A and B are shown apart, each in its own frame.
Chain A
Amino acid sequence: MSSSSGGYYLPEPSHWPITGSIGMFLMLFGFASFLHGGSSLVMIAGAAVLIFMLFGWFGTVINESLSGKYNSQVDTSFRMGMGWFIFSEVMFFAAFFGVLFYARMWAIPWLGGSSNNAMTHELLWPAFDAVWPTNGPGDVGGEYQSMGAWGIPAINTLILLSSGVTLTWAHWGLKKEDRTQLILGLMLTVALGFLFLGLQAYEYYHAYHELNLKLTSGMYGSTFYMLTGFHGLHVTLGATMLFVILIRSMKGHFTEEHHFAFEAVAWYWHFVDVVWLILFVFVYWLV
């Protein structure tokens, strides 16, 4: 039934969405059961179905794109879709940053007796010293040290910034039809992405084993791991998508005119980059 109505491509009925729903349902239902003592099999099966769906769905889109079914109007729809999807991700991170700011500016000073909370402090937590970083008046998670900014985090900042440069360089390569530059730039970007992740894994290891800084270390630990963890997850996603783009570039996909997939992933990568900068300032630096 696919008719290019007035040029706009209307896709055939598709079983990929329902496959995705089933995968998502199994994964999340399985995860919740797992949290309450169930086996992890359902969750893993669900994740596998989801990954299968992603391959199938994107595979279909790539084939449609290669066979020239998309006109510029379809391209615009994709661009808007990706742009607003990234905006929704911005808002997701904004929620966690909001929580960090609220805790640092209000919740914790109030526990220390500021504003009209003198009696809370006097009666409930007289010994509590309300300074950031903190694991709260209950000393939740026990003694810990906070993570400094100028070690691995600073190196990681440089790595992500350079990866933004190499990605742009790759894009220039694509635009002047220089495949070598494109592929080399992408390889560098992917490598820098995974290097970042490796260093972050090392940082977490260090935090857990030497600083006693854990997810359970009160508000500081919660915000630290939630923000850096979700960011790391996005780097993982971004690097994986870049890797797919790299493979596709090696297969000869994309032309200097038509390469929205490349651009979409690049947008995503820059977004992840910017989140890191904000994170570096407020999670690592200004403590």
Chain B
Amino acid sequence: MSTATTHDDHHDHGAPSGLMRWVKTTNHKDIGTLYLWFAFIMLLIGGAMAMVIRAELFQPGMQVVDPQFFNTMTTMHGLIMVFGAIMPGMVGLANWQIPLMIGAPDMALPRMNNWSFWILPFAGTMLISTLFMEGGGPAFGWTFYAPLSTTFAPASTDFFIFAVHMLGFSSIMGAINIIATVLNMRAPGMTLMKMPLFVWTWFITAFLLIAVMPVLAGAVTMMLTDRNFGTSFFDAAGGGDPVLFQHVFWFFGHPEVYIMILPAFGVISEIIPTFARKKLFGYSSMVYATASIAFLSFIVYAHHMFTTGMPVAGELYFMYATIMIAVPTAVKVFNWTATMWKGSMTFEPPMLWAIAFVFLFTIGGFTGLMMGIAPVDMQYHDTYFIVAHFHYVLVTGALFAIIAAFYYWAPKWTGHMVNDRLAKIHFWWSVISVNVLFFPQHFIGLAGMPRRIPDYSLQFADWNMISSLGGFAFGLAQVFFLFVIIKTIRGGEPATSEVWEGAQGLEWTVASPAPYHTFATAPEVR
């Protein structure tokens, strides 16, 4: 997008060594690495829980775990994947890439950056520790609806509440840092409308985070007082309302799903032009579409509540507003397609993942549209159909984008090219198994299988078994990914600065691996 000249930075210090380097670091690359490893570990832990879920659902009847523990697994799986894997993964990418892409020496507030990360392992520990407490871990689903999470929840719920407070605090600080970095640290000449799309999407995401994480904090605070101090927020006897919880939660929850997908859009918008060897089609429309999606995300949230008995006017409003999101989303999909149109395409691993993203995310978008239609959502709601929907957007959407980003930028981070054969094995293994895993869930959902239930009626048996097999295969594929990552860090064909033939942007002007300090002197962007 932009061409640049870099000056050699002369006072370039190497990285300090030892464990304390990682604990005390204020370097955006170190912190990015920490975030990415944290996300990957959480992916494996959350993935192990998913394996328990799929093992239980392999056959009808009760085999592996008891129902309470099953529900604990679905709950913790969801929470860990959302707050532990996807969000930190995206922040890790932001930390590594934003300063490199805008020509900044580091993030704007480096010490706070360290704190944003180092809250996470503590919050994660708190969250996971609930599994070992008397009465078991939370089992009310990742959406923690009252009164399941207030009146009927185990003691460990209060630990869960504080874990959420900590996660929120970390996200808010991370978001503030990103906004300050983007607004204040761009190299001369890097105007807003020259910024790479990954930076743009993260910039907009940061506003979403600052706007909704405090609302989530409010929601869990009210849970805490309802549970322990006798308030009646979610209790009709005192004039409160359990449905009110859902309003507060989804005011956070819907923007939250865009928090997870907007940076993914950014990643894909970087990768496709590189391997199509064309400029991104409709750059400014991409920016405006991202901003519109972010804005709309605040005013559509009650599409998660069509079955709560909202007044008809509410149902209609939220239905039409929801369907409107399809417009900017479609703008993005068409722009990616148009970028590839008549491009001289090659299919290196990042591009494979990006193309898979475009296809599979779009499937998730379509099922979203279906569920956005209030009357038909009465049938889909709380079935496996919605499970299929959000796994298409989150796994083959957000997660695939993070994996694509790894394949795209890993040579810059490690200085080594990823082994092409292994990367392709990982890709095909994942992309086939993930569809075996989630596609059948559309069918069993339409046929009426409810979500969050460990047992099911016989008619769902075949597709569940197939889905579980796909699940085990997909889980194993990510263990293989760990092997690929370690192998890439350890060695491999040395990467050039430019890494990819068609790559544009400031990050490709510094050496691979990127030196510990980059852009100590701001590059000149023309």
Contacts and interface: CB of A to CB of B under 8 A. Distances in A.
A and B co-occur in one complex: yes
Interface of A: 1, 3, 5-6, 8, 10-18, 20-22, 24-25, 28-29, 31-32, 35-36, 57, 73, 76-78, 80-81, 84-85, 87-89, 91-92, 94-96, 98-99, 102-103, 106-108, 110-111, 115-116, 134-138, 140-141, 214-216, 218-223, 225-226
Given A8-B105, A21-B115, A138 B237 contact: yes
Contacts of B118: 17-18, 21
A77 B214 CA distance: 21
B248 A99 contact: yes
A230 to B, nearest CB: 8
B16 A13 contact: yes
14 contacts: A5-B519, A8-B105, A21-B118, A29-B159, A81-B177, A84-B176, A89-B214, A92-B214, A92-B217, A102-B247, A135-B238, A140-B237, A221-B232, A226-B221
Q: Which of A92, A103, A222, A225 has the most CB of B within 10 A?
A: A222
Contact of A5 (B225, B231, B520): B520
B225 A219 contact: no
Contacts of A85: 172, 176
A28 B162 contact: yes
Q: Which of B125, B161, B218 has the most CB of A within 10 A?
A: B218
A21 B122 contact: yes
Given A14-B111, A221-B231, A8 B185 contact: yes
Given A107-B240, A111-B239, 11 more contacts: A5-B105, A5-B520, A36-B155, A84-B175, A88-B211, A135-B239, A136-B232, A138-B237, A216-B231, A219-B239, A222-B231
A32 B111 contact: no
B212 interface: yes
Contacts of B176: 80-81, 84-85, 88
A16 B114 CA distance: 9
**3 closest A-B pairs by CB:** A138-B237, A95-B218, A136-B239
Contacts of B109: 77-78, 81
B97 to A, nearest CB: 18
Contacts of B25: 13
B222 interface: yes
Given A13-B25, A73-B184, A136-B232, A220 B110 contact: no
B106 A215 contact: no
B184 A76 contact: yes
Nearest to B176: A84
Q: Which of B13, B232, B247, B519 has the most CB of A within 10 A?
A: B232
B253 to A, nearest CB: 13
The bracket for how many chain B residues form the interface is 35 or more
Interface string B153-192: 0010011011001100100100111011001110000000
B279 interface: no
Contacts of A73: 184-185
Given A14-B24, A81-B109, A136 B237 contact: yes
A6 B521 contact: yes
Given A107-B241, A136-B239, A219-B232, A94 B521 contact: no
A11 B522 contact: no
A5 to B, nearest CB: 4
Contacts of B219: 95
A28 B165 contact: yes
B447 interface: no
Q: Which of B229, B238, B251 has the most CB of A within 10 A?
A: B238
B180 to A, nearest CB: 4
A19 B114 CA distance: 11
Nearest to A80: B180
A73 B219 CA distance: 36
Nearest to A94: B215
Given A5-B521, A73-B184, A77-B180, A11 B110 contact: yes
A112 to B, nearest CB: 10
Contact of B251 (A16, A18, A28, A98): A98
A80 B108 contact: yes
A137 B236 contact: yes
A222 B185 contact: no
Contacts of B213: 88
B497 interface: no
Nearest to A106: B241
Contact of B239 (A3, A11, A103): A103
B119 interface: yes
A64 to B, nearest CB: 10
B266 to A, nearest CB: 20
A164 B448 CA distance: 60
Q: Which of A24, A96, A116 has the most CB of B within 10 A?
A: A24
Given A29-B162, A218-B238, A91 B126 contact: no
Nearest to A73: B184
Contact of B26 (A13, A20, A76, A96): A13
